[in-house]
Structure 1
């Protein structure tokens, strides 16, 4: 059975406030949080099978709802509302304690109907998510939505929307883990939250702008565009997931030169192959400039960032080359380009320089850079730590819902043989997607 062939019967939405009184205050966002690209509600799905346990509630939703209210005592800004500040079109969180949205639903399907083990794609996943309307509207409305959908097998699905200005994917999982920790029986979250958004504020009023960055700024102000990935609405594109087994990864590694084979990471290899395949599929001319944007997690790299920080902590580095240079050189050359992009965020000084540029980016019009491929590694996001005790997580991830995301995510799942596999998301116009599949298949030929 496909995910789009069922109907979820939702109950009435209700607001869940923190279980106890919380501070009433205004919390400004960081320069990284308060970016046009992040002003939307980010969805996620987590599938659970109920197991025996001492603390198993008669109705899972009761346990999840109570745990949500308790988690909000610690994560109380999430129970507030965003508002625009009088100057600069910047946002801040009013910690009002109004609460988040909670919905219970039922669906006459079982986990087994979706295939076992559960794997992407999650087409039709809207049935497992709250009806939030326009996901780009975030001011003056709840910042988090949770729908628990009961399945006929006794399992359930947690579908969530988190305002991306409040938390990135790692922060969202941290909040979900707080909920499941408490639902499991813990007195408080095992990781306590840290706000401290001032850590990602610009420290220089006149940051140094490199030549390649200046070119990006100039392009953002340009009124001409011939890249279909910018001119075509994302709603008219197709989104697909590609699952690569360990055998597939071994086939890709056979294309890597010996001097890189032992050190290349799976992210570097997959990013190099998908960047080349996507570029060819889109039919860019050999003389065109193409760019790679690598999303790097500052957690664990920036010493000043404390454990428990749940705000946006992903910084982007960009490198550029020509289509001819990218697609006619050996794969090892592309891997080196990927590493060059990663190395841009290797030092704390470079990370701060990137943060210092954020206010300048915010002033630019909301358009996408031409011929750019955005790659993000979320394989170690921590979803496997969502242990409720009386329910076992069996799968989940980022569903394909509107508006689609141009970023190509890499994450882990198990394939139909139960083997650990890597999943890549891709959004392209249909003709380009057909060509992309052929290019990827060519790399996998032994």
Structure 2
């Protein structure tokens, strides 16, 4: 088991050795002490990712995958620039607050959450995992986003540069939460960009498509609308 940076480092090492290297350029390090809890363990931070929430209504149970609408949206540099122009410079919240506030409010929440992940937060996280017996993270009624755009799964094993490196399948395994991924791709015109697969109830997808087109077609800020393709992944 490993995380994305770990598998990339391993695959890069294999690629280097496949092309004649006798050892990987980045040597493996076995420093298990970095992941060992303190003695005694001290949970010093609030970890909402382990909040115990009762599942009252399952997204997947009420919306079987075969009844969902799945589409993949492509965002190139033009579309990303168009979105950024709408974000003036200007945090746990509710769906209502997100809907009632402008987009920069939600982005500020994400930025603040990332800034809170300090070294002490990580140590507290490890201590909590040990004291609670490796509890599952809370994903009840959550929307999970995994950004794989800059993971770097483009190795050369001596056969040339990879055409694609990333997820093999999407929209296949049921989950307790709605999940999507940001994937680095090249469209039919050769433009590099980000593909965002989405799987939503049909009516919600129709509304989402209109909202995306509205944002990217707003001539006051420029930028053509994003394209999307029906996905069979």
**TM, length-normalised to structure 2:** 0.75
Write the distance in 2 (CA, Å) between the matches of 1:430 and 1:325.
25
Gaps of 5+ in 1: 1-165, 261-318
3-state DSSP class of the match of 1:247? helix
Does the CA contact (< 8 Å) of 1:229 and 1:371 recur in 2? no
The aligned runs of 1:347-362 (5 Å cut-off) are: 347-359=118-130, 362=133
Aligned partner of 2:114 among 342, 347, 350: 342
Does the CA contact (< 8 Å) of 2:79 and 2:216 recur in 1? yes
> What residue is the counterpart of 1:397 in the other structure?
166
Write the distance in 2 (CA, Å) between the matches of 1:208 and 1:442.
44
Write the distance in 2 (CA, Å) between the matches of 1:397 and 1:240.
18
Does the CA contact (< 8 Å) of 1:227 and 1:371 recur in 2? yes
> What residue is the counterpart of 1:408 in the other structure?
180
**Taking structure 1 as reference, are residues 251 and 229 closer, same or farther at Cα in structure 2, changes over 3 Å only?**
farther
Write the distance in 2 (CA, Å) between the matches of 1:353 and 1:328.
34
4+ aligned runs moved over 6 Å, structure 1: 233-236
Does the CA contact (< 8 Å) of 1:408 and 1:425 recur in 2? yes
Aligned partner of 1:218 among 49, 52, 62: 52
Aligned partner of 2:192 among 402, 406, 420: 420
> What residue is the counterpart of 2:86 in the other structure?
255
Structure 1 residue 235 displacement after superposition? 7.6
Structure 1 residue 238 displacement after superposition? 5.6
Does the CA contact (< 8 Å) of 1:230 and 1:368 recur in 2? no
Residues 1:207 and 2:40 aligned together: no
Aligned partner of 1:372 among 123, 142, 147: 142
Between 1:247-256 and 1:201-210, the stretch displaced more is: 201-210
Aligned partner of 2:156 among 363, 387, 398: 387
Gaps of 5+ in 2: 219-233
Structure 1 residue 355 displacement after superposition? 2.4
Structure 1 residue 243 displacement after superposition? 1.4
**Taking structure 1 as reference, are residues 410 and 207 closer, same or farther at Cα in structure 2, changes over 3 Å only?**
same
Write the distance in 1 (CA, Å) between the matches of 2:124 and 2:60.
28
Does the CA contact (< 8 Å) of 1:242 and 1:425 recur in 2? yes
> What residue is the counterpart of 1:438 in the other structure?
210
Structure 1 residue 249 displacement after superposition? 0.9
Structure 1 residue 326 displacement after superposition? 0.4
**TM, length-normalised to structure 1:** 0.42
Residues 1:246 and 2:17 aligned together: no
Write the distance in 1 (CA, Å) between the matches of 2:61 and 2:14.
38
Write the distance in 2 (CA, Å) between the matches of 1:320 and 1:189.
42
Structure 1 residue 421 displacement after superposition? 0.8
> What residue is the counterpart of 1:272 in the other structure?
none
Residues 1:332 and 2:99 aligned together: no
Structure 1 residue 229 displacement after superposition? 4.9
Structure 1 residue 362 displacement after superposition? 4.8
Write the distance in 1 (CA, Å) between the matches of 2:142 and 2:70.
17
Structure 1 residue 233 displacement after superposition? 6.2
Between 1:227-236 and 1:400-409, the stretch displaced more is: 227-236
